[in-house]
Amino acid sequence: MSEAYQVVSFVENQNIKIEVLEYQNLGGNDNFTVAEKLYFAQKSSIKLRQVRITLKNSSLTAEAGALQFMKGNITLKSLGGSGAKGFLKGLTSSVLTNESAIKPQYQGSGIIYLEPSFKHYMIVELDHDEMIADKGLFYCCESSVTVSVQAMKNISSAIAGGEGLFQTKVSGSGYCVFEIPVPEEELVEFELQNETVQVDGNFTLFRLGNIDFTVEKSTKSIFGSAASGEGLLQTFRGTGKVIIAPTLPVYEKLGYLLNPIPSTK
């Protein structure tokens, strides 16, 4: 039986192997509506992808519900915390970061297939690092990496900037996988050395290192800001990395034009 997918990216160490599979063609079924959608998806080069994990006597932390199937000597336990206090803490984190309250941990040796989707995936290796991710992007990681909630330092800036008060923080050493809204090749990465990046919109996905986030007027004068038409800018200042998705606003605008919000009149 020939494989219907290609491995488009992978990483491996002595503990784990992570692969992103991309299905080249989907044959469909006997549903004509599904067949029509698959036809246009394939003509538009929209591919189905899936993350495959090989554990080598090690462990993986993933979003709840991400598992599709697994094979091998693998045990599963919950990382939601014990008792009511642990559950409430996990529930609070899930509300704040758009991620699941209970994150399962897979331990042992074997192969894990996570749920396929048409989204894109990015693999990041942390080396005693700390990475702040936009809400809802975390997918899975080696269990040597800690997943937690990062509170914004400046509440007014967080609200004005559209990012909310909390984001997801991953820290430690190991591989992480994130679901990203655009292809990885469309991301732009800035390395800052005591420098500043300013962004007009909500398309900054990640930041690493000693980076402060604020929201500032595009000019010193509010009148100048209004005249320039730019208004408020997300501002990232310090030493580290900032990763943005400049094509994301275009996709969001196209999605709105094709599926406008219905009138309530």
How far is it, in rounded angstroms, from Cα 135 to Cα 97? 5
The string of pLDDT tens digits covering residues 38-78 is 888 888 888 999 999 999 999 999 998 999 999 999 999 87
Structure tokens at 94: 């899930």
Task: Pick 262 or 234 by higher pLDDT.
Answer: 234
pLDDT at residue 97, as a whole number: 47
DSSP letter string, the chain: ---SEEEEEEEE-SSEEEEEEEES-----S-HHHHHHHHHHHHTT--EEEEEEEEEEEEEEE-TT-EEEEEEEEEEEE-S-SHHHHHHHHHHHHHHHTS-SS-EEEEEEEEEEEPPBSSEEEEEEEEEEEEEE-TT-EEEEETTEEEEEEE-S-HHHHHHHTS-SEEEEEEEEEEEEEEESS-GGG-EEEEEEEEEEEESSS-EEEEEEEEEEEEEESSSSHHHHHHHT--EEEEEEEEEEEEE-TTHHHHHHHHHHHSPPPP--
Backbone angles phi, psi at 169, to 5 degrees: -120, 130
The string of pLDDT tens digits covering residues 209-259 is 999 988 888 765 554 444 344 578 899 999 999 999 999 999 988 887 767
- Res 22 pLDDT > 60: yes
The string of pLDDT tens digits covering residues 111-156 is 999 999 999 999 999 999 999 999 889 999 999 999 988 876 665 5
DSSP H or E segment with residue 36:
helix 32-43
Break the chain into its structural domains and give their ranges: 182-258
The string of pLDDT tens digits covering residues 149-202 is 887 666 555 555 555 567 899 999 999 999 999 999 999 999 999 999 999 988
Tell me the average pLDDT across 83-91.
44
**pTM for this prediction:** 0.82
**114: how many CB neighbours lie within 10 A of its CB?**
23
- Res 95 pLDDT > 70: no
